[in-house]
Amino acid sequence: MMTNSTNKPTPTFWIIGIAALIWNLMGVSAYLGQAYMTDAILKALPETEQLYYTNIPAWVTAAFAFAVFGGTVGCILLLLKKKLAIQLFILSLLGVLTQFVYNFFIQDYMEVSGSNSIMPIVVIGVAAFLIWYSKKSKEDGIIS
């Protein structure tokens, strides 16, 4: 297929790119809220959540950072029609999966079930979709 960005992006491309950027910026906000949580906010949480947040290993926090910042920069690069977006979306998905392995299989502080398990599925789905969509955009000659 084409390797140069010669095809004009469709309105759908811009809608997906902007929506994905907003989604990932919400993730950055969640990361910053968790990383810089004050003692007052932490003490206001239920005890199980306090235990969870005070015991998160550094590698899980790093995975969260890779997930949200990789996805955000990936979206910016997608909107700039750069194929490097693909690699950043892959990095983001790896961060998401690493974080959720901890949340679902390792940590013992909070039960992840019911409505708490829906959001991780959505996050994984969006991250996987962005990889597919950026690869498709490259094949279509929109990004290069």
In a domain, 142, yes or no: no
Question: What integer pLDDT is reported at residue 112 of this predicted model?
Answer: 58
Kindly state the tokens that stand for 101.
């392995």
In terms of residue numbers, what domain contains 29?
16-137
In a domain, 2, yes or no: no
Contact 68/7 with Cβ under 8 angstroms? no
Question: What integer pLDDT is reported at residue 44 of this predicted model?
Answer: 95
Torsion of Cα atoms, 9 then 14 then 124 then 88, to 10°: 70
Rounded Cα–Cα distance for residues 137 and 139 (Å): 5
Rounded Cα–Cα distance for residues 31 and 26 (Å): 9
**pTM of this prediction exceeds 0.85:** yes
In a domain, 10, yes or no: no
Radius of gyration of the chain (CA): 17
In a domain, 3, yes or no: no
